[in-house]
């Protein structure tokens, strides 16, 4: 098997320029190959493998795995020992193997270390196994390759640049191909790009005419054309190159390309020439590298481990110096019966050995069980997500899935969400909702008296049984429109005739009367389906005709011209000749464009229709205006000749065509308007509102056009009428984009200054703010297009863009490429130091999902690439609210409480050795026996803290959703940070001091019941150990906020286990079996039989615990947190049994003119006629739909680390000032 080229581009040409040069046709002339490490242009000759191999292009083999059988063990261990903690414990293990300095057995370290390494290695091996499996599945797909004039079955990995391959219907495209010919007329073929750009609608590609006739293998085998084109890049919608063949050159564009990841649809076969293979394909160029994701707590723990190690070294140095001094001053006098160990000849060397001994003894300040426990807790949190029935979608039978166990607590710290639009926020389902025809509005549901029906009073839908070709899934609720059709209303007939003719939909009739429409966009499909159900059924089309069945009668129209969409025209027209010979232009487009092009006779009708448009837009519907114009035969003939000349113009072709289109699309007659509902997923507006209240900023990054994305922004309540202003950045040059961003910032600053001068904005700008913009008054939104974003993301402008965007409440980026999505996420990560989450459902979201701290995949309509690349997955956007506010917040809370307690209990345990060192001649003698040291973190204190880390919660899940402000401590990183860490270790050191000195002071003069001296080493050890276990058990009882049977069992069971093991180790039976290991028979029984010992233990526990209880009581009373107030409110409500008041957010409908109901790209129109491209866009942005002011949110939080900020309880239940 041939060695695969790595997906990251590690082949010979890894230095290629992949800067995304768009190219413009003629890139050079064929010539001899010049080898070089940087590819400035690509030369590909058909059917010439030897020629193409000189350039050392990448093969078509994909490799995403990290290991193989040989490299797994060394590479994986190398990666694991890059972790500071693993290296630290390996170092300690080596020390314990040296007899001169080891005070503890080696098994106390090696067993947990091997366990951790093994668990991690198994996990990594499993992940990589699935990568290998996926790679093999893709690389071993079969493809038909033309070799020596014969089609041969070859694996994808064996396909080479320059090969000609044959694709058949429903097959995946194996590499980036230049389309040569197809089974369809004019070299057309249809592809589905869901795996590439997330869009489920079909697109058209066309071969250039000179190759379109190469339909059989003998002709293709003789084809020796050479392509010179741009180098590999990540731009999905751009391609520039030239084909040289038979001494002629032919320009190539993106419309001639089939990209890897697409699927051939509705096309029997096609042939293509491989231009880019494997890692050079645009799909792989956009995939991005898989990044190892770590939480901020992980990074902080690594820092703390280094600090603790430094502290450990300091303690070791102090005790070593003490040992050297003691041996020099005191120990030298006792050499007769306390001789130095063999090899020790000086006090200095004794101190040196003592230093390493103490390093071993004191290493338990960070035991390896910490890392084992962290992984167990994360695993438990992951299972809770998987088992959550409230995140289960019964319709799709899809549960939520935590695909990683390492990021759970970071779900509780998210500040920025980057969301795809289509399929993530929406269902990608368009519904024909309302329409206006000749000044009459249809679509309102009416009751029996003819009044508009209220919600919940909807009657039966319109009965379309009269039409055998009607789509049974289509529903409409106003019967008057169907009555108008049946009564022969000419305006209504012409309205639906336009919808059945003016489109680029493809029809497939698998059996008689069973129609399937293949639309380039769901909204266009909805319009054609509406016409179908009302009796105007689009049946079929050819490049020159359209056949429509009008009220049961088949009518074929001659298709004379299709006038394409583009971003400036914002409309689409067709010119058809009816069977009667009448020539008519039908046009549909954005209201702001079409209303200006109507005949003056339409003024009154336009006024009424505009009112209807405003009404529809207020309901968040996507609107479209329809018009027509009759053309004289002589005028059309002249216009058509001019159109043909313009289409053949060598220069400024698009400008000539635009002028001709504009000329004919004037003085049209208004027919009416349509209103389409782009259905949001259930619960999206509510979810966005709640997440916004949690101070999470949501950015929408979509490949869709501007007006479509903005419409969804309204529907989601991201964009509102209450916003001060919405900035639209559409500049095409660096200077234009910079100027638009500058003006936006100036307007925000001017508005803030004016508000401040009016004394309505009293907040002072904090000196800690990184940007003055973060304290502006008012609410703003930013909408930016992909071509503008490309400039905004450049190094010299990215900070300006980020400052402007972060000052806005909502950000929508339109027409962005997959890589641009990842770049936006990376920009926020780089400068804001905030936790980011990316959520999407298509392959075009994979780069964004991989780049963000947390990636969430929606298992929807667009394949499973997003899910496979994600860290968490579920089926609906609304589940994100529960994932973050419940599971994320609880995971963060539990992990923080776990870490605080863990460091506390281990410092309390370990520091006793430090104090004891001053009383044992710094001899590295331990206070406890080695079995207690081994079992302390494994048995006595492990399960209670695990139970708290897995099950604890401060407030119930309903309160977590009801009070989004509870989420903010995680964003501000308040529950575990360096300050909290120092508080924990201070408490641990305080406990260790009392734990050692109280028993030491008591034992100095205490006696047994029989008068004998109580003080001996083993009795002291038992007393201190018992005090320690009791104190840390009581402490975790105080820390536990949510008690379960498991918590009770583990806490009290651990105490019982301690005493059972203690008495067993000092029993007579164990001594008889292992006399050398358990020599202190009956010591525990004798010690714990003394009242003095129990009084000492009780005194120690009280002195350690009472200050903690007092401090927490005062804090709860004087400075309660929001969670404290919520719990108090809950208790009050339970006692009073008062009715619960829910927060209600009132909103009024938007008054903006909605974007017209189209979202498909250039593609079908002229391709059907002449193979050219067509793009649809529309609508300028005007006004917005509301969102309640959220200024009260900001009172809790001005900036991370800001002290003394306060906020009122959002529930209004407790009128206390809350401070964070």
Query: Which amino acids are annotated catalytic?
Result: 420
Distance CA 897, CA 152 (A): 63
For 21, 645, 646, the CA distances from 651, given in Å and listed in that order, are 21, 12, 9
N- to C-terminal Cα distance for the chain? 62
Say if CB 19 and CB 233 are below 8 A apart: yes
Sheet holding 176-182, edge to edge: 150-155, 142-147, 164-168, 269-276, 176-182, 257-258
Structure tokens at 1015: 């003080």
Helix, strand or coil, per DSSP, at residue 543 = coil
DSSP string, 757-822: HTTS--PPPPTT-S-GGGG-SS-EEEEEEHHHHHHHTSTTTHHHHHHHHHTSSEEEEES--HHHHH
Backbone angles phi, psi at 1007, to 5 degrees: -130, 160
Alpha helices in 676-733 (DSSP H): 684-693, 706-715
Distance CA 766, CA 754 (A): 18
Number of residues in the chain = 1220
For 571, 653, 898, 1155, the CA distances from 665, given in Å and listed in that order, are 10, 19, 70, 20
901: CB partners within 8 A, 6+ apart: 945, 948, 984, 1035, 1036, 1039
Structure tokens at 1018: 């083993």
- Could you say which DSSP state residue 97 is in? T
Rounded CA Rg of the chain:
37
Which of 589, 824, 622, 821 shows the shortest CA–CA distance to 710? 622
Sheet holding 202-206, edge to edge: 202-206, 188-192, 263-265
Say if CB 241 and CB 230 are below 8 A apart: yes
Antiparallel, parallel or unpaired: β 835-840 and 854-858: parallel
Say if CB 1007 and CB 1013 are below 8 A apart: yes
Helix, strand or coil, per DSSP, at residue 1199 = coil
For 338, 340, 346, 357, the CA distances from 100, given in Å and listed in that order, are 16, 11, 15, 8
Which of 703, 542, 541, 567 shows the shortest CA–CA distance to 193? 703
> Which residue do the tokens 């169907």 mark?
482
CB atoms inside a 10 Å sphere around CB 777: 17
- Could you say which DSSP state residue 939 is in? I
Antiparallel, parallel or unpaired: β 697-701 and 414-419: parallel
Say if CB 584 and CB 413 are below 8 A apart: no
> Which residue do the tokens 């270790």 mark?
985
Say if CB 715 and CB 620 are below 8 A apart: yes
For 82, 218, 265, 274, 405, the CA distances from 146, given in Å and listed in that order, are 49, 10, 22, 11, 47
Say if CB 417 and CB 839 are below 8 A apart: yes
Distance CA 799, CA 1105 (A): 51
Say if CB 305 and CB 371 are below 8 A apart: no
Backbone angles phi, psi at 572, to 5 degrees: -135, 140
């Amino acid at each position: 098997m041939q060695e695969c080229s790595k997906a990251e581009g590690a082949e010979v040409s890894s230095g290629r320029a992949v800067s995304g040069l768009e190219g413009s046709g003629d890139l050079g002339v064929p010539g001899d190959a010049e080898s070089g490490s940087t590819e400035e242009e690509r030369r590909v000759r058909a059917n010439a493998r030897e020629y193409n191999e000189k350039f050392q292009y990448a093969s078509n083999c994909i490799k995403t795995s990290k290991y193989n059988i040989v490299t797994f063990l060394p590479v994986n261990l190398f990666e694991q020992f890059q972790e500071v903690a693993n290296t630290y414990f390996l170092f300690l293990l080596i020390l314990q193997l040296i007899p001169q300095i080891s005070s503890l057995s080696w098994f106390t370290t090696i067993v947990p270390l091997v366990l951790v390494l093994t668990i991690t290695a198994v996990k990594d091996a499993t992940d990589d196994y699935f990568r290998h499996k996926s790679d093999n599945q893709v690389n071993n797909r079969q493809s038909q390759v033309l070799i020596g004039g014969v089609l041969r079955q070859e694996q994808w990995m064996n396909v080479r640049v320059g090969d000609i391959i044959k694709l058949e219907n429903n097959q995946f495209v194996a590499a980036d191909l230049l389309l040569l010919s197809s089974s369809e007329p004019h070299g057309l073929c249809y592809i589905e790009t869901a795996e590439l750009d997330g869009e489920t609608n079909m697109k058209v590609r066309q071969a250039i005419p000179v190759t379109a006739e190469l339909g059989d293998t003998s002709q293709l085998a003789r084809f020796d054309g050479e392509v010179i084109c741009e180098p590999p890049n990540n731009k999905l919608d751009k391609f520039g190159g030239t084909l040289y063949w038979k001494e002629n050159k032919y320009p190539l564009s993106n419309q001639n390309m089939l990209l890897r990841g697409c699927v051939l649809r509705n096309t029997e076969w096609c042939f293509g020439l491989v231009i880019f293979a494997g890692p050079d394909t645009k799909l792989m160029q956009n995939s991005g590298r898989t990044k190892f994701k770590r939480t901020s707590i992980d990074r902080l723990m690594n820092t703390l481990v280094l600090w603790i190690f430094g502290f450990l070294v300091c303690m070791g140095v102090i005790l070593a110096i003490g040992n050297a001094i003691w041996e020099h001053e005191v120990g030298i006098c006792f050499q007769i019966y306390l001789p130095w160990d063999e090899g020790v000849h000086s006090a200095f060397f004794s101190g040196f050995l003592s230093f390493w001994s103490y390093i071993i003894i004191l290493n338990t300040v960070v035991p390896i069980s910490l890392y084992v426990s962290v992984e167990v807790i994360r695993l438990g949190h992951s299972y809770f997500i998987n088992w959550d029935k409230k995140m289960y979608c019964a319709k799709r039978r899809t549960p939520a899935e935590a695909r990683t166990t390492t990021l759970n607590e970071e779900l509780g710290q998210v500040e920025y969400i980057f969301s795809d639009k289509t399929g993530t926020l929406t269902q990608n389902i368009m519904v024909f909702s309302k329409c206006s025809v000749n000044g009459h509005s249809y679509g309102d549901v009416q009751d029996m008296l003819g009044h508009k029906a209220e919600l919940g009073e909807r009657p039966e839908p319109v009965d379309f049984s009269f039409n055998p070709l009607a789509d049974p899934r289509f529903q409409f609720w106003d019967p008057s429109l169907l009555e108008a059709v049946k009564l022969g209303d000419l305006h209504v007939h012409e309205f639906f005739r336009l919808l059945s003719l003016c489109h680029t939909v493809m029809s497939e009739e698998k059996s008689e009367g069973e129609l399937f429409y293949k639309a380039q966009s769901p909204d266009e499909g909805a319009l054609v389906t509406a016409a179908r159900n009302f009796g105007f059924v689009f049946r079929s089309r050819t490049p020159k005709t359209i056949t429509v069945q009008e009220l049961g009668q088949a009518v074929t129209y001659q298709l004379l011209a299709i006038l394409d969409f583009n971003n400036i025209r914002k409309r689409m027209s067709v010119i058809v000749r009816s069977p009667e010979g009448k020539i008519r232009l039908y046009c549909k487009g954005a209201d702001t464009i079409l209303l200006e092009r109507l005949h003056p006779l339409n003024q009154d009708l336009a006024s009424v229709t505009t009112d209807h448009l405003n009404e529809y837009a207020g309901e968040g519907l996507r609107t479209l205006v329809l018009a027509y114009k009759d053309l004289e035969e002589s005028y059309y003939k002249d216009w058509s000749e001019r159109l043909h000349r313009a289409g053949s113009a060598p220069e400024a072709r698009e400008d000539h065509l635009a002028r001709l289109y504009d000329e004919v699309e004037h003085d049209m007659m208004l027919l009416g308007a349509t209103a389409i509902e782009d259905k949001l997923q259930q619960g999206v507006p509510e979810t966005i509102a709640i997440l916004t209240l949690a101070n999470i900023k949501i950015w929408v990054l979509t490949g869709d056009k501007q007006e479509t994305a903005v419409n969804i922004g309204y529907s989601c309540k991201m964009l509102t009428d209450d916003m001060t202003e919405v900035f639209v950045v559409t500049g095409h040059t660096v200077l234009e984009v910079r100027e638009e961003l500058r003006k936006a910032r100036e307007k925000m600053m001017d508005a803030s200054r004016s508000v401040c001068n009016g004394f309505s904005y009293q907040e002072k700008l904090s000196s800690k703010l990184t940007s003055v913009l973060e304290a502006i008054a008012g609410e703003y939104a930013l909408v930016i297009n992909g071509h503008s974003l490309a400039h905004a993301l450049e190094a010299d402008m990215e900070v300006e863009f980020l400052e402007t965007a972060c000052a806005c409440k909502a950000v929508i980026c339109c027409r962005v490429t997959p890589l641009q999505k990842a770049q936006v996420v990376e920009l926020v990560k780089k400068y804001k130091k905030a936790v980011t989450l990316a959520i999407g459902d298509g392959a075009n979201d994979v780069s964004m999902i991989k780049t963000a701290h947390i990636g969430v995949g929606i298992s929807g309509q667009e394949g499973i690439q997003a899910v496979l690349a994600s860290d968490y997955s579920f089926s609906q956007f609304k589940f994100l609210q529960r994932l973050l506010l419940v599971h994320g917040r609880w995971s963060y809370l539990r992990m923080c409480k776990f870490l605080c307690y863990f460091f506390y209990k281990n410092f309390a345990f370990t520091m006793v050795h430090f104090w004891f060192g001053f009383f044992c001649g710094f001899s590295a003698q331990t206070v406890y026996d080695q079995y207690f040291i081994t079992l302390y973190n494994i048995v006595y204190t492990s399960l209670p803290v695990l139970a708290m880390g897995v099950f604890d919660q401060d407030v119930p899940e309903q309160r977590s959703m009801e009070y989004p402000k509870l989420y903010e401590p995680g964003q501000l990183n308040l529950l575990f940070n360096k300050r909290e860490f120092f508080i924990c270790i201070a408490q641990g050191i305080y406990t260790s001091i009392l734990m050692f000195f109280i028993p030491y002071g008591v034992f100095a003069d205490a006696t047994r019941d029989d008068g004998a001296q109580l003080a001996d080493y083993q009795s002291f050890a038992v007393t201190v150990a018992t005090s320690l276990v009791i104190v840390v058990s009581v402490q975790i009882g105080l820390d536990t906020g949510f008690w379960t049977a498991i918590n009770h069992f583990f806490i009290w069971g651990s105490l019982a286990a301690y005493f059972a093991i203690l008495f067993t180790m000092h029993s007579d039976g164990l001594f008889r079996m292992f006399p050398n290991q358990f020599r202190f028979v009956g010591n525990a029984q004798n010690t714990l039989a003394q009242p003095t010992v129990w009084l000492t233990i009780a005194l120690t526990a009280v002195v350690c615990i009472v200050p903690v209880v007092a401090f927490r009581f005062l804090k709860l009373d004087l400075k309660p947190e929001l969670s404290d107030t919520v719990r108090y409110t809950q208790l009050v409500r339970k006692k009073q049994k008062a009715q619960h008041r829910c927060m209600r957010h009132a909103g009024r409908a938007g008054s903006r003119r909605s974007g017209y109901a189209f979202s498909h790209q250039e593609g079908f129109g002229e391709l059907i006629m002449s193979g050219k491209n067509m793009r649809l866009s529309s609508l300028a942005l005007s006004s917005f739909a509301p969102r309640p002011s959220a200024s009260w949110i900001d009172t809790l939080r001005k900036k991370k680390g800001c002290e003394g900020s306060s906020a009122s309880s959002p529930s209004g239940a407790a009128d206390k000032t809350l401070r964070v």
